[in-house]
Chains A and B, each alone.
Chain A
Amino acid sequence: MELSGEEKKLQALFSELKAADEQTTPHFGATWNRAQSAPRRIRIFNPAFVAAALLLVFGVVVFAVWSRYSRTATSPQPVIATAPQNPGNTARAEAPPTPETPLPQSKTAVVLSRNKTTGQRNVMLSAANRKLQKDAKSIASWTSPTSALLESPSDEIFSSLPELNQSATQLKSFLPSRSN
């Protein structure tokens, strides 16, 4: 590359700069040895690894929570409210006999909590049964608001039958009491 006048000047300036730099260049051995003795940076906390670990832990926690809640949501038996066939039996059904046997100390808490849930369930069941009984009664005693319109004075005649050994006057009573 042929250099022009100004380029030669630039080249001279750069050469001067280079000469000055060469005088101040650190010794190769010193730099090399420092690099050799420098502590190797081993990345213990690799950001990608940390992120993956955190994600994994989060996933495990979410799964644990989900499985716990899903179990508690499905475990209580749905209360099937059936009409009691024999009302007398309901009282028996409400309070099932619990065997009162002595339990070991370690299982006491578990048994207590189980009894508690059973009691709650029984209370719910009895409440449902009571409601059902009430509904059944109200349905049985229901009368139509227009039933009065269907009533007539001759209903008695149709509802009772004259007997053969009755007298004529008595038989007259079955006739409609009209003056004309």
Chain B
Amino acid sequence: MKTDRIDIAELKEELEKLHSASFGWALSCCRRDYAEAEEVLQTVYLKILEGKARYRGESSLKTWLFAVIRKTAIGEYRKRLVRSLVFLGSSERHDTGVSPADAPTTLLEKSELQKQFRVALAKLPARQREALHLVFYEDLSLSEAANVMGISIGSARQHYERGKKHLREWLSHTETENGIVWRRKETPSAV
């Protein structure tokens, strides 16, 4: 019992260090829903406290934690889906008053490009978005990302490459569009 407490205390310290990254990953898994991400993270911590999720040292703590977050987010999403199917018509989902549009993250958006980037990211297939997030946002290697996603490294690479291709296309498109807009702004009489 004593050793368990020590383990939990040690784990708590490690989790605190990873908290910010964990929240970012939870946000990505919950389609940038702030309230849902917070709930998922809380559920993950509860799982750890109850011993339902145990770190066995088979991978790095970050990889393990991210895999737990991902699984929990998927589970919560499924539960919500089932609940919405059962209570068809009546919106059972508790409204926290923080819609994605009003979420603090959105409020803190500094650039129009960032806003568009989030929209483009949300449009990507889940696996592609996850692969890109884990590599670019969390600085994980592809093998670590594959570990978190529970797929082979080959599949992870494929998702990563496809996602990158989609974002590249979006980026070039946006740049062209912005370029036109900027030019119009610079010389309004030209058109």
Contact = CB atoms under 8 A, between A and B. Distances in A.
B105 A35 contact: no
B34 A16 contact: no
A34 interface: yes
A178 B86 CA distance: 113
B108 A14 contact: no
Q: By DSSP majority rule, is chain B's interface helix, strand, loop, or mixed?
A: helix
A68 interface: no
A7 B104 CA distance: 27
Given A17-B114, A26-B38, A31-B41, A6 B108 contact: no
Nearest to A36: B49
A9 to B, nearest CB: 6
B94 interface: no
Interface in A58-107: none
Interface stretch (B17-25, B54-62, B63-71, B75-83): B17-25
Contacts of B50: 40
A31 B51 CA distance: 17
B85 interface: no
A28 B105 contact: no
Contact of A35 (B45, B109, B118): B45
Given A13-B113, A24-B108, A28-B15, A38 B42 contact: yes
Nearest to A9: B171
Contacts of A14: 132-133, 136-137
Given A21-B23, A21-B24, A25-B20, A35 B114 contact: no
| Of A7, A20, A34, A40, most B-chain CB atoms within 10 Å | A20
Of the four ranges (under 10, 10 to 19, 20 to 34, 35 or more), the interface on chain B belongs to: 35 or more
A10 B43 CA distance: 31
A25 B137 contact: no
Interface in B35-52: 38, 41-43, 45-46, 49-50
Contacts of A2: none
Interface residues of A, number: 25
Interface in A90-136: none
Interface of B: 12, 15-16, 19-20, 23-24, 27, 34, 38, 41-43, 45-46, 49-50, 103-105, 108-111, 113-114, 117-118, 132-133, 136-137, 164, 167-168, 171-172
A-B pairs with lowest CB-CB distance, top 3 = A35-B45, A14-B136, A24-B104
Given A10-B168, A21-B24, A36-B49, 17 more contacts: A6-B171, A9-B171, A14-B136, A17-B114, A17-B117, A18-B137, A20-B105, A22-B20, A25-B20, A26-B41, A28-B16, A31-B41, A31-B45, A32-B16, A35-B45, A36-B45, A38-B42
26 contacts: A10-B132, A10-B136, A13-B114, A14-B132, A14-B136, A16-B110, A17-B114, A17-B117, A17-B118, A21-B20, A21-B24, A21-B105, A23-B104, A24-B34, A25-B23, A28-B16, A31-B19, A31-B38, A31-B45, A32-B12, A32-B16, A35-B42, A35-B43, A38-B42, A38-B46, A40-B50
